[in-house]
Amino acid sequence: MKQNAFERRHQAEWQAFARQLDALEHGKAGPDSRQFPAAYRRLCRQLALAEQRGYGSRLVEQLQQLALRGHRQFYRHRSHLGARCIGFLLGGFPRLVREEWRLVLAASLLFYASLFGMGLLVYLFPELVYSLLTPEQVAQMEAMYDPDASRLGRFGERSSAADWMMFGYYVMHNFGIAFQTFASGLLFGLGSLFFLLVNGLSIGAVAGHLSGIGYTDTFWPFVIGHGAFELTAITFSGAAGLKLGWALFAPGRLTRGEALRQAAACSVRLVAGVLLLLLVAAFVEAYWSSMTSIRAPLKYAAGVLFWGLLAAYFLLAGRTRHAPD
């Protein structure tokens, strides 16, 4: 391709890139700033072509100057990635949860109502547990939390290697549940509703059964610590899925595709926070909940503290005028 044709084809793109650089250099990130990395990579390819084809020095120098300015902006903004993540954690995530409070409330009501309702029913009518769990699953749960086994020392403290292995298992298991609950919202929200209900019923059935047979001293001290983070994450992933489903069910004046795109931008940010909660839950479950040397009152106190800290975080964080996003 001749140089004149090459310039005519890409001149408008170079001018647009230069305007974008001007805005970034003056700290004014425009609505198209998200396209900056892709535009920068295209410019670098065009510079390489101009040099390879031996185009005039004026054009090559022009592209080199744009590439140099782009390089500075590209790596400056990449260096701010950690700051943006911290800003999301300190302010953006709790603020997003409050903005989506209706969906969070709907998901929480369904999940906790099914959990506590089934827990009470199984506690009062023990045979109901077999409507959700197989006899093998029930026997496995009883073996895990058998107080006699704990008193006889059959289940001692795990090694650090075993704790690390269980941490990885909890991460993968919990991530799977969260993604399932979130992604199934694409079925007009019905999938998210289903998994919120099923998870609530299953957890409630286990809690009601183990409480009913007298395993409270082993079950509740184990779950109360990481439960604050894990159960909250399940409800938030359900809310993110309901966000997708509502966009498909009631897109308003937008097309379903555009409504889904806008909803996904919010839901994905919510799920990013969910993954962080699940990492904390897995860490607490692997390294704190499993410790048999810690007495139950201390674990109950820690569990209450965790629930209180989460409540304060989502109610209060990010409310200042200049809170990070």
Residue 325 resides in a domain:
no
Cβ within 8 Å of residue 32, ≥6 positions away: 20
Residue 322 resides in a domain:
no
Q: Quick one: 68 and 199 in the same domain?
A: no
CB 230 within 8 A of CB 174: yes
Q: Quick one: 243 and 133 in the same domain?
A: yes
The lowest-confidence range among 77-81, 123-127, 194-198 is 77-81
Q: Quick one: 30 and 154 in the same domain?
A: no
Instruction: Tell me the pTM.
Output: 0.73
Residue 38, domain extent: 3-79
Residue 27: exposure state from Cβ atoms within 10 A (0-12, 13-18, ≥19) = exposed
Counted domains in the chain: 2
Structural tokens at position 237: 């992933």
The predicted model gives 259-279 an average pLDDT of 95
The H-or-E segment that residue 100 falls in is none
Q: Quick one: 155 and 12 in the same domain?
A: no
The predicted model gives 116-120 an average pLDDT of 97
Q: Quick one: 207 and 250 in the same domain?
A: yes
Residue 8: exposure state from Cβ atoms within 10 A (0-12, 13-18, ≥19) = exposed
pLDDT digit string, tens, across residues 179-238: 999 999 999 999 999 999 999 999 999 999 999 999 999 999 999 999 999 999 999 999
Domain end point (choices 38, 55, 79): 79
Q: Quick one: 44 and 164 in the same domain?
A: no
Residue 75 resides in a domain:
yes
Largest CA distance in the chain: 86
Q: Quick one: 99 and 214 in the same domain?
A: yes
Q: Quick one: 16 and 153 in the same domain?
A: no
Q: Quick one: 241 and 273 in the same domain?
A: yes
- What does the pLDDT read at residue 22? 86
Domain end point (choices 49, 79, 109): 79
Residue 324 resides in a domain:
no
Q: Quick one: 291 and 148 in the same domain?
A: yes
Q: Quick one: 51 and 185 in the same domain?
A: no
Amino acid at 254: L
Q: Quick one: 146 and 280 in the same domain?
A: yes
Residue 152 pLDDT grade (very low, low, confident, very high; cuts 50, 70, 90) = very low
Domain end point (choices 79, 94, 118): 79
